[in-house]
Amino acid sequence: MAEQWEDMTRGSTITVASSSALHPQQAHYRCDGLADEQEIHQADNDVPTTGGKIRLTEGRFYPSTTINISSNVVLCGMGEDITTIVGTGIGSHYNIIANSDPSGGNTNIHIRDLTVDAGWTSGGTGVYGGAINFVKCTDSTITDVNVHNGYQHDVMVSRSQRIHLTRLDCYAAQGDDCITVSDGSGVSESEYIWIVECYVHDSGTAAYQSGIEVDDGPQYVYIIGCVGENISGRDFNGHIHAGEKAIKHIYFRNCTGTGLIVYNSSATEVYDDIEVSGCTLNECSLVGPGKHVHVTDNPSLGWVYISDISEDIRVCDNTISNPGDEYGGIGIHCVNVDINGVLLQGNTISTTAQAGIFIEARAGRTITYLNILDNVGYPVNWQTIAMQGPGTVDQVRISGNDCFGSGGIYVNPNVPYQLTMTNWIIEDNPGVCRKASGSATVLAANTSVTVVHGIDRLGSANENGKFAQATPRGDWGNTVNWWISAFNSVNLIITVDVAPGGAGLGFYWEADATRGTVWAH
């Protein structure tokens, strides 16, 4: 180990030894286990303004107040299991490491290869920040660091740009989230934040405590390859508090955990551009007001719940199994705002209790441009696709969905959930018949024949747009005219003006209920 500390010149690297270091004489400064921030601050002062490194030896460092790091400084240990900074867990010692100028800002700070134990066994929420706290930082990183027992958060990034958090192990945040990116104070300044391959786990017991949270203002935040485990709230969380700015362009990619939720408590702000892709999650909930929500290419989801996203909802190419949500595998809910543009395509849904896809438009609300295409559903108790009102869905296409082994497609006819559907096409859904044909004969002495057409009813409805026709075959006999005199949910009736006599009159018939302009109860 000695060779690591041979250079004793005060150049770009300053070495600080712990009180238990094996070779303290080879360091520039040696701590005594009391107020160890003093030696680290002296090293920070010694680093050239053009940049340099503070190297902490093996052992434990005991600061009595926050360690403040200047711009262009690397603070590094010898590894997470070797170098530990220990907080006192008393008084106001909330931030163990922070950038030195949270008002004017810092740049190019890098923290790596160490552990921070903030020392708190209980905590609180508010403005305490993180055990590692970046405020107004740019172009900075935290890499290969273990952070735990933070008073509020383990790591917090606020009002900062181009920050990379990589391979962090964060747990036991006492007051709130393990990792948080949050601006607050009515501003939106943070952008281009990468949280990559981080492990967040074993939070406190409060329901609001998350593994990774983005709230109140940040934009362009990438949460990639992260894992959440044993988190009391959600593993991954996006939120807008009342009076705060919207979060925008938030991307959850290739993450694993129990739950993800994005929700909005603001009366005026609308979150925008949320992506969930490549993830393995039980719950995926996105509750607006919001817009541009894409849930795509996820290999394993328990359920997807989306409510009050005003435009551009895409749920595509996901595998969804055994949902525990009361609304089934994919639930789209139009509650407080109208929705324009929904695409549900290419999903494989296997449920044990509810509908595969559930669409709800509440009273006075309208979903426009609803496309449900090429999904495969095998629910046990309910339908592949279930829809209810009492609102309206307009410009609807339901096509190519494999509905075998289920109740097919159902439009609720029951008070108070009757749905009004306008300008709709329902066709080519295996397991659901909306088009049929066959042959029938009006006997010699009769003037009509009743045919059971076999078209699925999809709930009791008055469907504007149903079409049926009959074409005679062979000798007409005495008959001059014929028509379809009735076409209801079970039968169609072919009627002739005069009984044909002879051997009767045969017809080819076709019935089509694949499209219409009004579907009301």
Cβ contacts of 89 within 8 Å, gap of 6 or more:
118, 119, 120, 121, 149, 151
pLDDT at 489: 77
Q: Number of C-alpha atoms within 13 angstroms, CB side, residue 494?
A: 28
Phi, psi of 452 (to 5 degrees): -85, 110
pLDDT at 309: 97
The whole-angstrom separation of Cα 65 and Cα 35 is: 7
pLDDT tens, 305-316? Answer: 999 999 999 999
Sign of CA dihedral 175, 178, 179, 181: negative
pLDDT tens, 211-250? Answer: 999 999 999 999 999 999 999 889 999 999 999 999 999 9
Sign of CA dihedral 116, 120, 121, 126: negative
pLDDT tens, 112-133? Answer: 999 999 999 888 888 899 999 9
Phi, psi of 381 (to 5 degrees): -95, -30
Q: In which order are the strands placed within the sheet that holds 467-473?
A: 435-442, 505-512, 467-473
Tokens of 110: 């890098």
The confidence band for 76, taking pLDDT boundaries of 50, 70 and 90, is very high
- Whether pLDDT at 459 is above 60: no
Helices (H) and strands (E) in the chain, counts: 1, 47
CB atoms within 10 A of CB 68: 17
Long-range contacts of 441-445 (CB under 8 A, 24+ apart): 441/504, 441/505, 441/506, 441/507, 442/479, 442/482, 442/494, 442/496, 442/499, 442/500, 442/504, 442/505, 442/506, 442/507, 443/504, 444/477, 444/499, 444/500, 444/501, 444/502, 444/503, 444/504, 445/499, 445/501
Is 24 strand, coil or helix?
A: helix
pLDDT at 324: 59
Residue 42: DSSP 8-state? H
The confidence band for 518, taking pLDDT boundaries of 50, 70 and 90, is low
* Mean pLDDT of the region 367-383: 86
* Mean pLDDT of the region 474-495: 91
The confidence band for 379, taking pLDDT boundaries of 50, 70 and 90, is low
The answer to whether 229 and 259 have CB atoms below 8 angstroms apart is: no
- Whether pLDDT at 4 is above 70: no
pLDDT at 332: 96
Q: Number of C-alpha atoms within 13 angstroms, CB side, residue 269?
A: 22
Question: Nearest to residue 451, comparing CAs of 409, 406, 408, 485?
Answer: 485
The confidence band for 460, taking pLDDT boundaries of 50, 70 and 90, is very low
The confidence band for 434, taking pLDDT boundaries of 50, 70 and 90, is confident
Chain centroid to Cα 442, Å, comes to: 59
The confidence band for 432, taking pLDDT boundaries of 50, 70 and 90, is confident
The whole-angstrom separation of Cα 134 and Cα 195 is: 14
* Mean pLDDT of the region 424-429: 89
Phi, psi of 45 (to 5 degrees): -65, -30
Averaged pLDDT score across all residues of the chain? 91
In the chain the first and final C-alpha atoms are separated, in Å, by 82
pLDDT tens, 347-360? Answer: 999 876 678 899 99
pLDDT tens, 258-286? Answer: 999 999 999 999 999 999 999 999 999 99
The whole-angstrom separation of Cα 507 and Cα 510 is: 10
Cβ contacts of 207 within 8 Å, gap of 6 or more:
232, 233
The whole-angstrom separation of Cα 97 and Cα 119 is: 13
Q: Number of C-alpha atoms within 13 angstroms, CB side, residue 255?
A: 34
The whole-angstrom separation of Cα 75 and Cα 54 is: 5
Q: What is the 3-state secondary structure (H, E, C) of 493-506?
A: EEEECCCCCCCCEE
- Whether pLDDT at 514 is above 50: yes
- Whether pLDDT at 80 is above 50: yes
Phi, psi of 473 (to 5 degrees): -130, 140
- Whether pLDDT at 5 is above 50: no
pLDDT at 519: 59
* Mean pLDDT of the region 379-398: 87
* Mean pLDDT of the region 412-430: 87
Least confident of 115-129, 369-383, 439-453: 369-383
* Mean pLDDT of the region 197-212: 89
Q: Please state, in angstroms and as integers, the Cα–Cα distance from residue 252 to each residue in 180, 212, 220, following that order.
A: 14, 11, 11
Residues of the chain with pLDDT > 70: what percent?
Answer: 93
Q: DSSP per residue over 205-218, as a string?
A: S-TT--SEEEESS-
Cα Rg, the chain, nearest whole Å: 33
Show me where the domains of the chain are located.
1-129, 435-516
The whole-angstrom separation of Cα 467 and Cα 294 is: 37
* Mean pLDDT of the region 137-158: 97
Q: Number of C-alpha atoms within 13 angstroms, CB side, residue 334?
A: 29
The whole-angstrom separation of Cα 279 and Cα 256 is: 6
Chain centroid to Cα 163, Å, comes to: 22
pLDDT at 91: 84
The confidence band for 9, taking pLDDT boundaries of 50, 70 and 90, is very low
* Mean pLDDT of the region 432-447: 91
* Mean pLDDT of the region 143-161: 97
pLDDT at 10: 47
Burial of 162 (0-12, 13-18, 19+ CB in 10 A): middle
- Single-letter amino acid code for the residue at 436: A
- Whether pLDDT at 444 is above 60: yes
pLDDT at 124: 84
